[in-house]
Amino acid sequence: MIVIGADPHKQTHTFAAVDAATGEQLGCETVKAASAGHERALAWGRELGGERVWAVEDCRHVSGRLERFLVGRGERVVRVAPKLMAGARQSARERGKSDPIDALAVARAALRERPERLPGAYLDERALEIRLLVDHHDHLVGDRSDEQRRLRWHLHDLYGSELEIPAGALDRSKWLEKLARRLARGEQPARVRIARELVRSIRERTRRIRELEREIAGLVSDYAPQLLDEPGCGPLTAAKLIGELAGAERFKTDAQLARSAGVAPVPVSSGRRDRHRLDRGGNRQFNLAFHRIAVTKGRICPQTAAYLTRKQGEGKTRMEALRCLKRHLARRIHHLMTDHANTPAQPLALT
């Protein structure tokens, strides 16, 4: 088998082919990050002959188009987390850093981890659409938060403690209308005009955010209604799970999913001391979705609250107990997204 490592960039993609049996480098190719370049890279890979797997450094938007092209042509593609390349570069005989060196590091990292254990790229246009909408929603929320902070400082300078705005009030149209009327009265110096402009922008962003939330909820309901039936998993969290999963079939086991999300504990035992630590790798957006579910379930589900209390009674901190819960949730989500059509959903088993 041949492993072809890919180091993707916005302008070019560089590939390095390695023989899986001997570790010998078979060749290197750099192409433009365009359709013609993708065709050239595919032709080059097929000329190498034999069974092959493309190991692509997971760079989200930078590598997404290349992944979709290869998968659409029937090629086997696995994703390699960027953090795995550090060890491959350190152990390489060739010093320095360049695109060919990085592509070779990707291939050797895939060989070290074994391609069958890495998450495969999966062509799921519906999941991609959901992820793009969720990312856009999150960016709008972030931009709105920045504008709300700026507006609060302008209001504080204008009115001081005379105007008390509760936390979260600037998300509500009632308060925005009240502020717009107050700012419209009286003189209109620069600070007042800026504040009025911020109010208008926040109002428009809020309207768009609500529209996106309704659209995302409808898409999630059609794609994976079983996620919405899970306590603690709302439409936005379910959408983030779907988008980051990018096809649950990529993960053969729940352990692979847990490792990809960074919720699988890392053993750091020594001698008689048996312990695990937090995994700081993995997809952090994926990890965020599991964390939201864990925190919410711990608040609304008596069984989950009892589990967290029991883990804390064993000497774990609250965060350590939540990490244990997130590992159980990885198993649960994997079951819901892969076996729900053939097996009725069972309650989350916490041990």
- Tell me the C-alpha distance between 105 and 100, whole Å: 9
What does the pLDDT read at residue 21? 86
Residues 139 and 215 grouped into a single domain: yes
Per residue of the chain (351 residues), what is the pLDDT tens digit?
899 999 999 999 999 999 988 888 999 999 999 999 999 999 999 998 888 999 998 877 788 889 889 988 889 898 888 777 665 555 555 555 788 888 998 998 888 888 877 777 777 788 889 999 999 999 999 999 999 999 999 999 998 888 888 888 999 999 999 999 999 998 999 999 999 999 999 999 999 999 999 999 999 999 999 999 999 999 999 999 998 887 777 788 888 888 888 888 777 667 766 666 677 767 788 889 999 999 999 999 999 999 999 999 998 889 889 999 999 999 999 999 887 544 444 455 565
Q: Which domain holds residue 197?
A: 125-223
Based on the fold, state whether residues 138 and 203 are members of the same structural domain: yes
Domain boundary among 51, 86, 117: 117
DSSP secondary structure, 74-137, as one string: T--EEEE-GGGHHHHHHH-SS-S--HHHHHHHHHHHHHHH-GGGSPBP---HHHHHHHHHHHHH
Q: Which of 100, 117, 134 is the last residue of a domain?
A: 117
One domain, residues 245 and 175: no
CATH number of the domain that 23 lies in? 3.30.420.10
Element (H, E) at 267: strand 266-267
> Does residue 147 lie within any of the structural domains?
yes
Domains in the chain: how many in total?
Answer: 3
Q: Are 56 and 8 in contact (CB under 8 A)?
A: yes
